[in-house]
Structure 1
Amino acid sequence: MQILRIDSATTGDDSVSGRLTQMLLDHFTAAHPDATVISHDYGTDPLPHLTPVTTGAIRRPEEARTPEMQAAYPAERAILDEFLASDIVILGAPMYNFTIPSQLKAWIDRLGVPRVTFSYDENGPKGLAGGRRVIVASSRGGDYNQGDAGEHQETYLKTVFNFLGIDPEFVRVNKAGFGPEAVEAGLAAAKEEIAKL
């Protein structure tokens, strides 16, 4: 059993999604005390955005890679392999300007690899990365539902993980921008949801 925790908030100790990912990690490690846990905080130590070299490294076959792509391949592929080796992925995803933080997008961009995590046939796209749980720790300053006007955070995450063959689960705190009492109420409600996972 491997649990992968990804945080992406840039708000440090004030991060509501970070508190949610910790609650989720505590829940799953209590249920699986022998699990291997891998954690990355891309809010404080972000991945670089993709470049032609890193894109080619993870998407081109070996014989088509330049020497620079070949040199970049091990580190780029390790990010994907870590995801594919995980049974549970806990994903901290705050809403920033109606969508996800760019540093989280940089991580997700390394997951969509043709013939590895998705493919196409005559019926359209087929996700190849099923067999793991992705639980999204979602926090938003306002009060949103998936698909509301301006909501491009959870809707995007559902779309991209569905494309990869995964149906993500969401634990959320809405109204985080309404003040400390709203945050604590949201976290208390989230704790009840986490207990059911």
Structure 2
Amino acid sequence: MKKVLLLSSSIFGDQGNSSQLAAAFKAELAGKDVQITEKDLIALDLPHLGAPEILSWMAAPGDRTAEQAELAQRSDLLIEEFTAHDVIVLAVPLYNLGIPSQVKAYLDRLARAGVTFKYTENGPQGLIEGKKLVVLAARGGVYAGSQWDSQTPHLGALFNLMGVNDQTFVYAEGLNMGEDAKAKAFADAKVKIAEVAAAL
């Protein structure tokens, strides 16, 4: 049985465009031999990463203060959950040409030197193996493949850093460019979602 971690990140909850893509993906998995864990990164409400938390990672577990142990556990549990799944599905909107800050706060806890990647003489090396990433990206305009799309290279590089290099991006673009454009974008995205889900 494959385990799927379905991450949502719309500030509009279930009404968000990216949340609708997540719902479509979940519907495609109905009846399949999969176990789905859903996590709302907005509701998770992680704070921005600060120096005390990074220092807690750098301290040896036996040398951590009570406060450091609590801070380190925040990241440890998220990484444990992440690595326990075979497929990571990230439904993400595009806010001001980037990922939501709540997604950044979550990913900051995953990308940890010495835990999910390490530095070598030949550059960084990912320590997470055998995972598949599916990004469901909802955008008001049309940006994929252009200079305006900072989201795709950022997410692609960050997950590659950790060793998650089996990546598929599904785009629903032009969602704010009229009802016809929105309907077509969702229809096209759902076809791609069905293909990706069928291949799991």
Structure 1 length normalisation: TM-score? 0.90
Note the C-alpha offset of 1:29.
4.2
Q: Secondary structure at the match of 2:147?
A: coil
Alpha-carbon distance in 1 for matches of 2:35, 2:58: 28
Q: State the one-letter code of the partner of 2:27.
A: D
In the alignment of these two chains, the number of paired residues is: 194
Aligned counterpart, 2:178: 179
Aligned to 1:75, the other structure's residue is in SS state helix
CA distance in 2, matches of 1:196, 1:4: 18
| CA root-mean-square deviation | 1.8
Larger mean CA deviation between 109-118 and 97-106 belongs to 109-118
Whether 1:121 aligns to 2:116 is: no
Give the share of equivalent positions with the same residue, in percent.
Answer: 31
Rounded Cα–Cα distance in structure 1 between residues aligned with 2:149 and 2:59: 34
The equivalent residue for 2:153 is 155
Q: Distance in 2 between matches of 1:164 and 1:110?
A: 12
SS at match of 2:73: helix
CA-CA distance at 1:27 after TM superposition: 2.0
Aligned to 1:80: 79
Provide the rounded CA distance (Å) in 1 between the counterparts of 2:85 and 2:4.
6
SS at match of 1:165: coil
Alignment partners' CA distance in 1, 2:30 and 2:164: 22
TM superposition outliers: structure 1 runs of 4+ over 4 Å: none
1:16-165 equivalent positions in 2, closer than 5 A: 16-32=17-33, 35-146=34-145, 148-165=146-163
Q: Deviations over 1:50-86 (max 9, x none)?
A: 2233323344331443331113333331111100111
Displacement, 1:179? 2.8
Amino acid aligned to 2:10: A
Cα-to-partner distance string for 1:15-45 (whole Å, 9 max, x where unaligned)? 111111111122234332xx33221112244
Deviates more, 1:48-57 or 1:98-107: 48-57
Return the alpha-carbon distance in structure 2 between the equivalents of residues 100 and 106 of structure 1: 10
Unmatched 5+ stretches in structure 2: none
Contact 1:128 1:165 in 2 (8 A): yes
CA distance in structure 2 between the aligned counterparts of 1:100 and 1:57, rounded to whole angstroms: 26
Amino acid in structure 2 at the alignment position of 1:99: G
Whether the aligned pair in 2 keeps the contact of 1:25 and 1:90 (CA below 8 Å) is no
Name the amino acid aligned to 1:111: L
- What is the distance in 2 between the residues matched to 1:29 and 1:131? 23
Per mean C-alpha deviation after superposition, the further-off stretch among 95-104 and 161-170 is 161-170
Write the distance in 1 (CA, Å) between the matches of 2:96 and 2:193: 26
User: Structure 1: which 5+ residue stretches go unaligned?
Assistant: none
